[in-house]
A and B are shown apart, each in its own frame.
Chain A
Amino acid sequence: MQTAFTRGAPQQAAPMTTPFLVAHDIAKAFGGAQALKGVSLDIAPGEIHGLVGANGAGKSTFIRILAGLNHPDAGRIEIDGHSQQIATPQRATELGMSFIHQELAFVPGMTVLQNIMLGVPKKSRFGLTDWRAIARDVAPIARRVGISAPLNASVKGLSTAEIWLINICRALVRKARLIVMDEPTASLAASEAERLFAIVRDLSASGVAVLYISHRLDEILNLCSRVSVFRDGRSVAELAGKGLNRPALVEAIVGGTIRDLQRTATARPRGDVVMEASNLTRAPKVRGVSLKLHAGEVLGIGGLVGAGRTELARLLFGADRPDSGEMRLADRPYQPASPAGAVRAGLGLIPEERRAEALFLSKSIAFNLGIANLDKIVHSRYLPLLNRSARTAMAGEMIRSLSIKARNASTPVGRLSGGNQQKVAIGRWLQRTPKVLILDEPTRGVDIGARGEIHRLIRQQAESGMAVLVISSEPDELPDLCDRVLVMAEGRIVRELTGQAVSRKAIVEASYVDPQALMEDHPA
């Protein structure tokens, strides 16, 4: 791999100076869920400080607290050695912190200058905004970060990298002393990313500290002098100097001490290939994915949020169309034009967001189960009316066999618990005995008891010969459930794990593989 940037001697955090920011033992709970159990970190002026951790480790919550969007339940925040309450986003700005989120903040219809000044107090003359004076002040800053577009040009048509620079410029106009960057390179091309790194180093040299959050460990290693690792709501490690290397980071992210549970899912004889995808691509989220799904197996798709797993499921289910690539189902070409086509061909999908994408909350259980089985609940060909007693009977049978906790079939689905709602979403397809069942995050927001039941249910379906594809971000779920796991990173499948090789650690490790590097190692 061509080195994207040479590793400069990391600036050593000078121990003499007061840290710009100290966060001490910050805790935060949402409802019953303890998002942060106690995280601490400090950032020196001008330091590039890395922050890594798996999904759900607490990074986002921590940033929201710094930004004044959430308030900590416990802990202390110091800026320049003084204890501070960050009550509002305005206060965070006053204290010298700026935030550049993954979704960049900009208004498409405005000019570059207007976007830079978004939310910044502006000079005025006679009560009118004095854009000319503002432009004079901003121009040198814009030059410094390398904005090439004229300040009075519209931002329409600018690249993501340039929008990103506008956000940086806004932070500097606000005289930020710490800029928090959340996954800054997620949507940048390699050359654009390099430019970004140069700017980050330049900021650092001029005394602006950067908190750099990324899943891309190579970037972290190259840019940061110190890295904090969060896991399960705690700051578990701070790595610097010699101790800062890739294996140590992965170890800290995964948690070396947690031993993998004995795998309950053992490889069983699997049937023929039911579904096959080759080189499936839908830019930018899915890039050249090939996979084979066998009858009677539970195939897991692991990886980080944003790796392209949900998008892959949508392609397989006909919810989106691929740019290129082919699919086959039961040895025949398969090109679903819509989910309706996929359902006819014998697929079922339980989507990630069950309340928004799967269920009709105000409607009854019977309605929710019946909607995918209308052909089964019609009186006859000659009397094409709904057979409501057949529908109720079908629903009753499902409620019993999946042990859905509800008073009866006419209970609105919105009144059920998360686990029971999920059972309804799954039950909808079981009536059809699909060839392929795809479950996206099947146990998210489901209590532990229902989780076990849903897992058993999924295994049962596979044992009866169905091909099951499970997407999950929960570290323990796939090893528990799957015969085989494919790990995706940045739209590509980067690793296949089978048999005893399927473990929580192996999945997390593979999630951080850089697919670019992988392709260099094994040229196609």
Chain B
Amino acid sequence: MSDVAISARRLSPGTKAVLGIFARYGTIIGLLAMIVTFSILSPHAFPTVNNFTNVLNQASLAMIIAGGLTLAVVVGELDLSIGFAASLHGILITGLVVHDKLPIPLAVVIVIALGAVIGLVNGFIVTKVKVNSVIATLGVGTILTGLAFAYSAGVPIVAGVPEAFLQLSLGRWLFGIPNNIIVMILVLGGLWLLVERTPLGQEIQAVGGNAVAARLAGVNVDRIKILGFVISGMCAALTGILLASRLGSGTASAADSYLLTAFAAVFLGSATLRDGEFHVLGTLVGALIIAFGFNGLNIFGAPTFSQYVLQGAILIIAVGMASLGRSLAER
């Protein structure tokens, strides 16, 4: 009986190779298949420069915050504070610009610095006080939500938002490319360069790969982990700022849902190209899958609930298939 079961599971080398390829390229194949399918089903609405620009523009904010989160998970930690932090940042920048009449560049610098400080606090609690990162960042995130309500007294800031502030997100630059996309490309490009092409990035990957070995190889593990949280915090600030500009208002929970999207993108990314490792390029692919999936469903007028069902299902299917494919290919 058991012999039969075992021999049934023994795979030919060819099958193994296919599974191995699928484990690595499955998400990219899935993304392309989705784009092709939507293009065939809706040749006039979906495959247009306008629609693609629109999708990217929409997805840029999620991509930036997910890019930051990637750094936190690359060093082996989770950052659950990012969504709440981004909400606080959004309401804070609106307040600084509308109420305090600060020049916009100064307000942006202040808010991004605050993002770095939040990351520093997260990193300190995790590495020095040695609190599990899930608990630490959930606690910090909850406090930030409280601060956001305290700052706004629960009332969204809507009136008196200057046009220049709205242009941060709504404006277009080179060849009419939306600012959001340009910022996203700069951020993800910078993060990719940092992780993949700098000595510091080698240390970041080492800490995520095996923190004990990294320490014994002379890497300052705590410093690298704190850096991961700081970058995650700064990216959350950037997303918060751009969201407030796009909405033209500051609301105390506007960016909370970015947490789930960012995690979905990051974990989808871990199933891309590399075997279960987090990386910036993977996160980009993950975010694109979610963005195009939502867009396609929108075009076909699918109800809102189905989009969430789709996001959850894609995440589990993609990560699950990659994981299964890997373990079958290695058997």
Partner of B219, one of A342, A371, A388: A371
Which chain A residues (370-410) contact chain B, with CB distance < 8 Å? 370-372, 374-375, 377-378, 384-386, 388
Closest-by-CB residue of B relative to A350 is: B216
B301 to chain A, nearest CB (A): 44
Complex: A378 Cα to B202 Cα, angstroms:
11
B218 interface neighbour in A339, A359, A360, A367, Cβ under 8 Å: A339
Interface string of A344-371 (1 = CB under 8 A from B): 1000010100001111111100010011
Interface window among B85-93, B137-145, B193-201, B313-321:
B193-201
B199 and A386 form a contact (CB under 8 A): yes
Contact A339 B216 (CB under 8 A): yes
Contact residues in B for A363 (Cβ distance below 8 Å): 205-206, 209
A423, CB-defined interface residue at 8 Å: no
Q: What B residues does A356 contact at CB under 8 A?
A: 210, 212-213
Q: For the complex, would chain A's binding face be called helix, strand, loop or mixed by DSSP majority?
A: mixed
> Are B199 and A374 interface neighbours, CB within 8 A?
yes
A245 to B205, CA, bound (A): 57
- Chain A residues with CB under 8 A of B205: 360, 363, 367
Q: Give Cα A372–Cα B213 distance, bound, in whole angstroms.
A: 11
Contact indicator A357/B220 (Cβ below 8 Å):
no
Is the Cβ of A359 less than 8 Å from the Cβ of B213? yes
Complex partner residue of A385 from B197, B219, B277, CB under 8 angstroms? B197
Q: Is B217 an interface residue (CB 8 A)?
A: yes
Using A340-B220, A342-B218 as known contacts, say yes or no to A362 and B202 having CB atoms under 8 A apart: no
Evaluate contact between B213 and A384: CB separation under 8 angstroms: no
Residue B172 CB within 8 A of the other chain? no
Is B256 close to A, CB under 8 A?
A: no
Complex interface: chain A residues within 8 A of B215 (CB): 319, 338-339
Report how far A378 CA is from B200 CA in the complex, Å.
10
Residue of B nearest to A359 (CB): B213
Contact B218 A372 (CB under 8 A): yes
A185, chain B: closest CB distance, angstroms:
31
Residues of chain B within 8 A of A371, CB atoms compared: 202-203, 206, 214, 217, 219
Measured CA separation A361–B198 after assembly (Å): 20
A384–B216 contact, CB under 8 A? no
Q: Which residues of B contact A344 (CB under 8 A)?
A: 218
Residue A343 CB within 8 A of the other chain: yes
The CA of A375 and the CA of B200, in the complex, are separated in Å by 10
**Chain A residues, Cβ within 8 Å of B209:** 360-363
Chain A residue, CB-CB nearest to B212: A357
Residues on B with C-beta less than 8 A from A340 are 218-220
A428 interface residue, CB < 8 Å from B?
yes
Q: A363-B209, A385-B197 are in contact. Are A358 and B216 (CB under 8 A)?
A: yes
CB atoms of B217 and A339 under 8 A apart: yes
Residues in B neighbouring A358, C-beta threshold 8 A: 213, 216-217
The answer to whether B212 and A374 touch across the interface, beta carbons within 8 angstroms, is no
Q: Which residues of A are found within 8 Å of B277, using beta-carbon distances?
A: 362
Chain A residue at minimum C-beta to C-beta distance from B196? A386
Using an 8 Å CB-CB cutoff, how does the interface string of B285-300 with A read, 1 for contact, 0 for none? 0000000000000000
A372 to B214, CA, bound (A): 9
The closest CB in chain A to the CB of B199 belongs to: A374
Known A340-B219, A362-B277, A372-B217; contact A384-B198, beta-carbon cutoff 8 A: yes
With A357-B212, A360-B209, A362-B275 known to touch, is A386 a contact of B218 (CB < 8 Å)?
no
Judge if A317 is at the interface, Cβ distance under 8 Å: yes
Distance to closest chain A CB from B87 (angstroms): 35
Q: How far is the CB of A392 from chain B (nearest CB, A)?
A: 14
Residues of B within 8 A of A342 (CB): 218
Distance (whole angstroms) from the CB of A107 to the closest CB of chain B? 21
Distance A68 CA – B179 CA, assembled complex (angstroms): 68
Collect the chain B residues with CB atoms within 8 Å of residue A378's CB.
199
Given A356-B213, A360-B206, the answer on whether A384 and B199 have CB atoms closer than 8 Å is yes
Q: Which residue of B lies closest to A376 (CB)?
A: B199
| Contact across chains for A317 and B216 when beta carbons are under 8 A apart | yes
Residue of B193, B199, B201, B213 touching A360 (CB-CB under 8 A) = B213
Interface centre among B197, B205, B216 (most CB of A within 10 A): B216
B residues 219-277 near A (Cβ < 8 Å) are: 219-220, 275, 277
Cα distance A129–B129 in the bound complex, in angstroms: 40
CA distance A338 to B193 in the complex (A): 28
State how many angstroms separate the Cβ of B320 from the closest Cβ of chain A: 20
Contacts of A357 in B (CB 8 A): 212-213, 216
Q: Which of B198, B209, B218, B275 neighbours the largest number of chain A CB atoms within 10 Å of its CB?
A: B218
The answer to whether B201 and A349 touch across the interface, beta carbons within 8 angstroms, is no
Most buried by A among B209, B213, B214, B219: B213
* CA distance in complex: A319, B215 (Å): 8
Give bound CA distance, A317 to B216, whole Å.
Answer: 8
Encoded as 1 (CB less than 8 Å from any A CB) or 0, chain B from 118 to 151 comes to: 0000000000000000000000000000000000
CA distance A338 to B215 in the complex (A): 8
Residues of A within 8 A of B275 (CB): 362
Which of B201, B214, B219, B220 lies in contact with A386, CB distance below 8 A? B201
Chain A residue contacts of B210, Cβ below 8 A? 356, 359-361
Q: In the complex the two chains form, what is the Cα distance from A369 to B48 in whole Å?
A: 48
Measured between beta carbons, the chain B residues less than 8 angstroms from A343 are 217-218
B193, B209, B210, B217: residue with the most chain A Cβ atoms closer than 10 Å: B217
The 6 closest A-B CB pairs, nearest first, are: A343-B218, A374-B199, A360-B209, A340-B218, A372-B217, A371-B217
Please name 17 further chain A to chain B contacts, defined as beta carbons within 8 Å, in addition to the given A339-B217, A363-B209, A386-B199, sorted by A numbering: A317-B216, A338-B215, A342-B218, A351-B216, A357-B212, A357-B216, A358-B213, A358-B217, A360-B206, A360-B210, A360-B213, A361-B209, A361-B210, A371-B203, A377-B199, A386-B201, A428-B217
Please, could you name 9 A-B residue pairs with CB atoms under 8 Å apart, sorted by A? A342-B218, A343-B218, A358-B217, A360-B214, A371-B219, A372-B218, A374-B203, A377-B199, A428-B217
